Amino acid sequence: MLESRNLVDVRSLWVSYRKPKWGGLRSSEIYVLKDITFQVGYGEVYGIVGASGSGKTTLLKSILGLVKPRKGKVFIGGKDIYSSSDAYKEVMSKIGYVSQDPYSSMDPRMKIGDIVGEPLRILKAPSATIAKYVEKVLELVHLSTSVIDKYPYQLSGGMLQRVAIARALILKPQLILLDEPTSFLDVVTQAEILAILKELRDITGCSYIIVSHDLSVVAYLSTKIAVLLRGYIVEEGAVNQVLYRPLHPYTQLLVESSKYIKSIEPEFSDVGCPMHKSCPWASSICEQEMPKVSMVNGAKVRCWKYSGGVQS
Ligand SMILES: Nc1ncnc2c1ncn2[C@@H]1O[C@H](COP(=O)(O)OP(=O)(O)OP(=O)(O)O)[C@@H](O)[C@H]1O
Ligand SMILES: [Mg+2]
């Protein structure tokens, strides 16, 4: 991989889906990620928090090349992943992915040992090497080798999530993408999985991008947090800045109201700043236009209050 200052460099990414219209052949284009720019350093844990539908999974999929952006670039280790299929293949061999639903990401007819070893088998590694690596990664996620001959339905949700993490680790990735890694687990199992993820990062030194609707999950692991609102990153800063000195009204609402964004439902708009209908500071410019990013005490924020559009 080419060396560069940041492992991940996402520049002004715009992603849309086509939405079919009732009663006609024409479809409309809906933008679900808008002007997304961020960087993740080597060994850094970058957390993205956002409500359901804010675009978290789409963002991870566009870093994995599974959803092609309309505009913008994704560089990993200095390589533009969309520039050629060779660049794409090389970069993807360095990325592990833990998808939002481990049940649907695993073939129920395959044994756990085969599921975990699958990425190596695709690369045609010898069986003895695969067996050795499978044992090693299962040990890293604190699973006994007795699971190797079991099927997914025989494991609990927490064990299955450890299997998904083990599979993501087997190619010794530089980067692991984690999509809501604890959302379907009970509180005790959530804490176990988070502790394992923290330990693994310390052991392997790899970078994570973790997305969740739960601010506390993201805050536990991350060095930096971005807040995603209706496809826009509206704030990005160090964990303590976001938790204790939030700048954007949405981040403030998130921090003050509840641990779970899912329970916060202000009225959002598709024109101007999505937050303007529920924002105490909103003025006419907020109804018309989304502001550009401003730097405030080392944090990034997208709000007219910090861009001179709102009288304080
Ligand atoms: N394949 C698709 N085709 C059309 N629209 C899609 C597709 N995938 C996602 N969307 C829409 O894009 C928006 C963002 O979806 P996405 O799954 O990225 O959100 P999310 O933040 O991961 O949500 P959740 O927390 O529920 O997982 C949603 O409005 C969703 O309905
Ligand atoms: Mg999702």
* Ligand 1 atom nearest 50 alpha carbon: 21
Sign, CA dihedral 179-257-243-249, equals positive
Under DSSP, the state recorded for 214 is B
Residue 227 Ramachandran class (φ > 0 left, ψ -120 to 50 alpha, else beta)? beta
* Ligand 1 atom nearest 52 alpha carbon: 25
pLDDT of residue 36: 98
Determine the residue of 31, 48, 57, 101 to mutate for testing ligand 1's pocket, defined as the one with the most ligand atoms within 8 A of the Cβ atom: 57
Domain assignment present for 65: yes
CA of 189 to the centre of ligand 2 (A): 20
Domain assignment present for 67: yes
- Among all bound ligands, the one having the nearest atom to the CA of 28 is 1
Whole-prediction pTM = 0.93
CB 227 within 8 A of CB 195: no
Q: Give me the tens of pLDDT residue by residue for the chain, a chain 312 residues long.
A: 445 689 999 999 999 998 777 666 677 889 999 999 999 999 999 999 999 999 999 999 999 999 999 999 999 999 999 988 888 888 888 899 999 888 888 999 999 999 999 999 999 999 999 999 999 999 999 999 999 999 999 999 999 999 999 999 999 999 999 999 998 889 899 999 999 999 999 999 999 999 999 999 999 999 999 999 999 999 999 999 999 999 999 999 889 875 444 445 678 888 999 999 988 889 999 999 999 999 999 999 999 999 876 765
Domain assignment present for 158: no
- Among all bound ligands, the one having the nearest atom to the CA of 260 is 1
For ligand 1, atom 4, the nearest C-alpha belongs to: 17
Residue 158 CA, distance from chain mean position:
20
CATH number at residue 243: 3.40.50.300
CB 230 within 8 A of CB 268: yes
* Ligand 1 atom nearest 18 alpha carbon: 4
Domain that holds residue 177: 6-94+173-306
Contacts of 103 (CB under 8 A, 6+ apart): 152, 160
Domain assignment present for 157: no
Domain assignment present for 156: no
Determine the residue of 15, 17, 68, 210 to mutate for testing ligand 1's pocket, defined as the one with the most ligand atoms within 8 A of the Cβ atom: 17
Domain assignment present for 185: yes
* Ligand 1 atom nearest 100 alpha carbon: 27
Length of the chain: 312
HSE, side-chain direction, 13 A CA sphere, residue 8: 27
Domain assignment present for 46: yes
pLDDT of residue 258: 55
Domain assignment present for 108: no
Determine the residue of 56, 211, 233 to mutate for testing ligand 1's pocket, defined as the one with the most ligand atoms within 8 A of the Cβ atom: 56
Question: By C-alpha distance, which of 263, 156, 168 is closest to 214?
Answer: 263
Q: How many domains does the chain have?
A: 1
Query: Which residue ranges have their beta carbon within 6 Å of ligand 1?
Result: 17, 32, 50, 52-58, 100, 213
Residue 192, number of CB atoms within 10 A of its CB: 16
* Ligand 1 atom nearest 61 alpha carbon: 18
For ligand 1, atom 8, the nearest C-alpha belongs to: 58
